[in-house]
Amino acid sequence: MNMMNKRQENLFDSIKRIEAIKRLRDRGIITQRDYWLLTGNYRIVGCGNRACKWEEKTE
């Protein structure tokens, strides 16, 4: 039973963290790329000479 409570707390904390990150993005404090990096919701679709192209995962 204690293990189940621990998982629920971790899930709750994760949801709160994602909500806080979204608020930072919406207020312009962090960039869309920072948001993707912090949430893991990105993929690299190709790299050129100077930079890589990023896009949001749509799965």
Number of structural domains found in the chain: 1
Residue 59: the pLDDT is 61
Question: What's the pTM value of the predicted model, to 2 decimals?
Answer: 0.54
pLDDT digits (tens, 9 = 90+) for 6-53: 556 677 888 888 888 889 889 988 887 788 778 777 776 777 777 777
Around 9, how many Cα atoms within 13 Å sit in the side-chain half-sphere?
A: 6
Distances (CA, A) of 31 to 16, 17, 20: 19, 16, 14
Parent domain of 22: 2-56
Tell whether the model's pLDDT for residue 3 goes beyond 70: no
